[in-house]
Amino acid sequence: MKRFVIVGLGNFGASAAELLGAQGHDVLAVDTNEAAVERVAGFVAQAVVADGRGAKTLDRIGARGADAAIISTGDDITSSILSTMALHDLGVKEIYVKVISIDHARVMEKLGVTETIFPERDSAQRLATRITSTTILNFVRLGTGFGMQEMAVPESWVGQSLRKLELPKRYGVSVIALHDVLTDEMISAPDPDALLKESDTLLVAGREKDLARAAAQR
């Protein structure tokens, strides 16, 4: 179990708080809006109506030394900056910030946050990737130019083994897991000599341009 601080309980912050709470983690949820706090109170260990921009306030309600924090203060860039500084002062080493623009992301990165999250852009990118390919079932961007995708096994790969296909050598991608859709079995580190089936999907990681080349196979 880890301890998380969530500052800002709009749709994104509230969803994160509920999901982390459902996983059994110790979640401190903070917002100045009483109604927003009440909505998540039943899902988290502690929900507090407070101003998450001040170190003294955050310290008083138990944020010091948390494993990680998520800041989701909407379009109030000043609030996200002040909350980040306060959490840094309290020894929270991992801070994730929802941003609303490229400039907002640049500011937060200058402050040394762990990661900036741009939900609208990321969702649009996943959708654009899926609808332009009949092979890709899902896509997650992991960093600049790097991602992970779930893809159907191309017809030309069916009946061949991962060892024979040599995907790292030919495409520069690595197979992380195999999912048999018929049995719903997820296999991590799949057998390199097992023959791929039509009912399989592959979880593959690599550079985005290499993933696109792999997904273009028929």
pLDDT at 183: 81
pLDDT at 34: 96
* Same domain as 134, residue 97: no
* Same domain as 194, residue 129: yes
Q: Which domain holds residue 14?
A: 3-117
* Same domain as 208, residue 185: yes
- Does the pTM of the predicted model rise above 0.85? no
- Which residues are within 8 A (CB) of 72 and not within 5 positions of it... i.e. 6 or more apart? 6, 7, 8, 9, 10, 12, 13, 16, 97, 98
CATH number for the domain that contains residue 8: 3.40.50.720
* Same domain as 179, residue 100: no
Number of domains in the chain: 2
Whole-angstrom distance, CA of residue 170 vs CA of residue 160: 15
DSSP code, position 32:
S
* Same domain as 126, residue 109: no
- Which residues are within 8 A (CB) of 98 and not within 5 positions of it... i.e. 6 or more apart? 8, 12, 13, 70, 71, 72, 73, 80, 116, 117, 118, 119
Domain end, chosen from 88, 117, 146, is at 117
pLDDT at 1: 84
Whole-angstrom distance, CA of residue 39 vs CA of residue 215: 42
Tens digit of each residue's pLDDT, the chain (218 residues): 899 999 999 989 999 999 999 999 999 999 999 999 999 999 999 999 999 999 999 999 999 999 999 999 988 999 999 999 999 999 999 999 999 888 999 999 999 999 998 876 666 655 555 555 556 667 777 767 788 888 888 888 999 999 999 999 999 999 999 988 778 888 888 899 999 998 888 888 999 888 888 888 77
